[in-house]
Chain A
Amino acid sequence: MDFSLTEDETTFRAEVRAFLQENLPVDIARRFARGYHPPKDDLKRWQAILHRKGWSAPHWPVEHGGPGWTAMQQFIFDDECALADAPPPSPFGLRLVGPVLYTFGSDAQKAEHLPKILSGEVFWCQGFSEPGAGSDLASLVTRADRDGDHYIVNGHKIWTTEAHFADMMFCLARTSKSDRRQDGISFLLLDMSDAGVTVRPIPTLDSGHTVNEVFLENVRVPATDLVGEEGRGWSYAKFLLDNERTFNSFVHRSRRDFRRMMAIAGAEGGALLEDPAFRMAAARVEIDLKALEWAVLRMLSGEVPDPVAAASALKLKGSQIQHAILDLAAEAMGPEMTPLYPDPEDGNGGALPFWTPDEAPGLMAQYLYRRAGTIYAGTSEVQRSIIYKQLSRG
């Protein structure tokens, strides 16, 4: 084992940092730093800048437009981006459907979609969950019936993040009935501008708009927009979920949030930073965070005996650590965390209270939204079941 960064990696970190300093628009960074969900325009502008540099898809193979970085370089890049308050590009195209398309898609699908995913011209959303199919995703009932060279899709998707930003949805729908519920599900690419698509926002407790219900009524999807083979959608969905083993650890975001938390505790004379009880609590979380960082590095190195169980462990620990950091930040904020601060960047948001601490707006919006950390991308209970299933195989 050799734990030191190579000279190349050190140079690379400096290069990324310099790029961010020169190219990340300050208004985008400022908005993202507050903790509100980034507006679409910010995501789009920033991804276009990354794309011009050839850096929008660090984890993609070179032949599809990736920069050919090692896993360590990808880690360094994500880390620098988080520390600079760069909003991570929307994951649905780049992290989720992109790899499915370059692995299982037709040549026509690759040619049509991959360039626009790379550039961020086209936004995607993920239409998996349904009102009756959450943890039990295989019970989904959205139907895709073949009609000549089209599928007619009918169903109701829910919790669709950024559906209101999206031009395209990748979704799971049933193309045939079968005894095993996982069979007969197909993976379709669906145009959100079809007249049969209705997007309805779901107001959430953070007062933001991120998730939606999507109603699909006789949506016509050309048969050429079926990915891979009909009826095998479940295995592509599994590939998609397995493919992202470290993203849901939120390690980079948490490292950045930890720094913000310490900044809050250090504000107003920094009395809290001098307080031994607070320091001990923060130290305890920092230790966990360090372990998480090395767990991610270990995963990226490939030296993990059971990557499936380890990915679930990363998600579980990652969400706990994220909550612990935000709890400390809320504690540091004291009673000032209780107001519903309007987003100072939002012209229609209303006036801030007279005496608003700089760090206050956005903190609780983020805090409340991140309650979902134990729910989305497989709840904590689902992750534990995955881990036990792996363990039980001996």
Chain B
Amino acid sequence: MDFTLTDEQALLRDSAARLLRDRFDFGRRGALLGEGGAAFWPDIAALGWPALGLPEAVGGMDGTLVDQAILMQELGRALYVGPYLSTAVTSAWLLCSVDGKHAESLLEGIAAGTLTVTLAHGEPGGRGILDVPGTKAVASGPDTVRLTGRKRLVPDAATAGKVVVTAQGDGGLVLALIDPAGQRQDYRTLDKGFVSDLDLDGVDGTVLATGAAAEVALDAAICATLTALGAEAVGVAEGALQHTRDYVAGRSQFGRRLGDFQVVQHRLADMFVEIEQLKALLLHALSVADQPGPDRLRAAVGLKVLAGDVAKRVAGDGLHLHGGMGMTEEMPISHYYRRARVLEAQYGNTGYFTRAHARGLT
């Protein structure tokens, strides 16, 4: 085993951190996100980040989920919300596991930074990404299906060029490609992210994969998404800890810095301990990231449990240690808290994934 980053990976981490500090700093974040979900996407595309995890054959950089995790960690620290996860992780991993011309040309678009794609899987009343879709697909042509159903909380659909829909067909799971136009309502999440509801009744989609092949592709997408979220959670929690450490070093009450009170010191130390645990489990999930199978899914699911828990707890403690300031829109910590709170519930909450993990206990 070798846990050290390669030179390229260290460079990636440093340049990502620098760029995000310069171009997506907290002061500018509100305005950038106000403009719409993809406002920062041109910068990301220009740097080639979408190509990071994609094979060279489609114009990618042949990187791995480790490279994407390094980036996700920095994106989490910068409180980035936008199509990187949905396009470059979820959709890219799904499409890489699908054969055929359609998938290839989509991947080329993603790698070139000219196309964003999202996965529409969750449905009204759904509990998480491991749910079986209720949307129906009926053949309507040689490689097309007509869809009936509703998709809920679809990330970044408002700005996506294409949407991959999960549905049930005669031969089991169907992955179908649609345009995001049509009956769609866009709204925002507590962390200022962008999501949409899609009414799919009567919409025609192009079939990307069906049956076992579709299951394999969806599994790849799920594992990569949950693992990348785990990496993002590390960045979110580290950012929250850093802001809190700085705050208690600067604020005085009773004639002393808050950071001089032992109770405060111990709380910060506990936050650090939680983050160390999470970082360690992230390594475990990354170690099996390219090995499809039940172990990979189990590792990703376990990581999501810890990620949600740790991010929420660390950001919550950080908020509390800011006192009243922690409640304000003005302070980064309240945004870390909201991102952490959404992250915990996104794609299924801690209870949901703990139950999934428990089913695999032997």
Residues of A within 8 A of B (CB): 129, 134-136, 139, 158-159, 202-205, 211, 268, 275, 277-278, 330-331, 333-340, 351, 353-355, 357, 364, 368-369, 371-372, 374-376, 379-381, 384
Selected from A139, A371, A384, the residue in CB contact (under 8 A) with B326 is: A371
Question: Quick check: which of B11-19, B57-65, B181-189, B289-297 contacts chain A, the rest being far away?
Answer: B181-189
Selected from A159, A278, A336, the residue in CB contact (under 8 A) with B324 is: A159
Question: Quick check: which of B87-95, B138-146, B227-235, B334-342 contacts chain A, the rest being far away?
Answer: B334-342
Q: How far is the CA of A375 from the CA of B255 in the complex (A)?
A: 20
- Given the known inter-chain contacts A331-B351, A339-B190, A353-B185, please indicate yes or no for A204 contacting B253, CB distance below 8 A: no
Contacts of A268 in B (CB 8 A): 125
Selected from B150, B330, B349, the residue in CB contact (under 8 A) with A334 is: B349
Segment 315-347 of B: residues with Cβ below 8 Å from A: 316, 319-320, 323-324, 326-330, 334-335, 337-338, 341-342, 345-347
Residues of B within 8 A of A (CB): 122, 124-128, 150, 152-153, 185, 187-193, 195, 197, 199, 253-255, 261, 263-264, 316, 319-320, 323-324, 326-330, 334-335, 337-338, 341-342, 345-352, 354-355
* Nearest CB in chain B to that of A380: its residue: B320
Contacts of B197 in A (CB 8 A): 353-355
Distance of B196 from chain A, by nearest CB (Å): 8
B127→A334 contact, CB < 8 A: yes
Provide 12 A-B residue pairs closer than 8 Å at the C-beta atoms, listed in order of the A residue: A129-B324, A135-B253, A135-B323, A203-B329, A211-B327, A334-B127, A335-B127, A340-B190, A355-B125, A371-B326, A375-B323, A381-B263
CB-CB nearest 5 A-B residue pairs: A355-B124, A203-B329, A205-B334, A354-B197, A136-B253
Contacts of B355 in A (CB 8 A): 275, 277
Q: How far is the CA of A354 from the CA of B354 in the complex (A)?
A: 29
Q: How far is the CA of A355 from the CA of B199 in the complex (A)?
A: 10
Distance of A196 from chain B, by nearest CB (Å): 24
Contacts of A334 in B (CB 8 A): 126-128, 345, 348-349, 352
- Given the known inter-chain contacts A203-B330, A334-B126, A355-B124, please indicate yes or no for A134 contacting B253, CB distance below 8 A: yes
Q: How far is the CA of A333 from the CA of B188 in the complex (A)?
A: 17
A355→B187 contact, CB < 8 A: no
A335→B150 contact, CB < 8 A: no
* Nearest CB in chain A to that of B193: its residue: A338
Selected from A139, A340, A375, the residue in CB contact (under 8 A) with B327 is: A375
B323→A339 contact, CB < 8 A: no
Distance of A390 from chain B, by nearest CB (Å): 18
Contacts of A355 in B (CB 8 A): 124-125, 150, 152, 197
Distance of A180 from chain B, by nearest CB (Å): 14
Distance of A210 from chain B, by nearest CB (Å): 9
Distance of B349 from chain A, by nearest CB (Å): 6
Contacts of A357 in B (CB 8 A): 125
Distance of B211 from chain A, by nearest CB (Å): 27
Distance of B176 from chain A, by nearest CB (Å): 20
Contacts of A203 in B (CB 8 A): 328-330
- Given the known inter-chain contacts A203-B330, A355-B150, please indicate yes or no for A338 contacting B346, CB distance below 8 A: yes
B254→A135 contact, CB < 8 A: yes
Distance of A36 from chain B, by nearest CB (Å): 14
13 more contacts with CB within 8 A, not counting A334-B126, A335-B348, A340-B188, are: A158-B324, A159-B324, A204-B334, A205-B329, A334-B345, A337-B345, A339-B195, A353-B152, A354-B150, A369-B327, A371-B337, A375-B327, A384-B263
A335→B346 contact, CB < 8 A: yes
Contacts of B316 in A (CB 8 A): 371
Selected from B320, B330, B349, the residue in CB contact (under 8 A) with A335 is: B349
B128→A335 contact, CB < 8 A: yes
A339→B153 contact, CB < 8 A: yes
Contacts of A335 in B (CB 8 A): 122, 126-128, 152-153, 345-349
* Nearest CB in chain A to that of B183: its residue: A354
* Nearest CB in chain B to that of A357: its residue: B125
A354→B185 contact, CB < 8 A: yes
* Nearest CB in chain A to that of B196: its residue: A353
Selected from A368, A371, A384, the residue in CB contact (under 8 A) with B320 is: A371
Distance of A192 from chain B, by nearest CB (Å): 21
* Nearest CB in chain B to that of A271: its residue: B127
Distance of B155 from chain A, by nearest CB (Å): 10
Contacts of B327 in A (CB 8 A): 204-205, 211, 369, 371-372, 375
Contacts of A134 in B (CB 8 A): 253, 323-324
A375→B189 contact, CB < 8 A: no
* Nearest CB in chain B to that of A352: its residue: B187
Q: How far is the CA of A277 from the CA of B255 in the complex (A)?
A: 47
Contacts of B255 in A (CB 8 A): 136
Q: How far is the CA of A357 from the CA of B126 in the complex (A)?
A: 11
A371→B319 contact, CB < 8 A: yes
A354→B199 contact, CB < 8 A: yes
Selected from A136, A338, A374, A380, the residue in CB contact (under 8 A) with B190 is: A338
Distance of B240 from chain A, by nearest CB (Å): 13
- Given the known inter-chain contacts A134-B253, A339-B195, please indicate yes or no for A368 contacting B190, CB distance below 8 A: yes
Distance of B304 from chain A, by nearest CB (Å): 13
* Nearest CB in chain B to that of A206: its residue: B327
Contacts of A337 in B (CB 8 A): 345
* Nearest CB in chain A to that of B191: its residue: A338
B190→A202 contact, CB < 8 A: no
Contacts of A204 in B (CB 8 A): 327-329, 334
Question: For A136, A277, A333, A381, which residue has the most chain B Cβ atoms within 10 angstroms?
Answer: A381
Contacts of B190 in A (CB 8 A): 338-340, 364, 368
Contacts of B351 in A (CB 8 A): 277-278, 331
Distance of B275 from chain A, by nearest CB (Å): 20
Q: How far is the CA of A276 from the CA of B150 in the complex (A)?
A: 30
Q: How far is the CA of A211 from the CA of B334 in the complex (A)?
A: 15
Distance of A324 from chain B, by nearest CB (Å): 13
- Given the known inter-chain contacts A353-B185, A354-B185, A368-B190, please indicate yes or no for A338 contacting B153, CB distance below 8 A: yes
Contacts of B324 in A (CB 8 A): 129, 134, 158-159, 211, 372, 375-376
Contacts of B352 in A (CB 8 A): 334
Q: How far is the CA of A205 from the CA of B263 in the complex (A)?
A: 26
Question: For B150, B195, B324, B355, which residue has the most chain A Cβ atoms within 10 angstroms?
Answer: B324
Contacts of B187 in A (CB 8 A): 339-340, 351, 353
Q: How far is the CA of A339 from the CA of B327 in the complex (A)?
A: 19
B328→A139 contact, CB < 8 A: no
* Nearest CB in chain A to that of B125: its residue: A268
* Nearest CB in chain A to that of B261: its residue: A381
Contacts of B261 in A (CB 8 A): 381
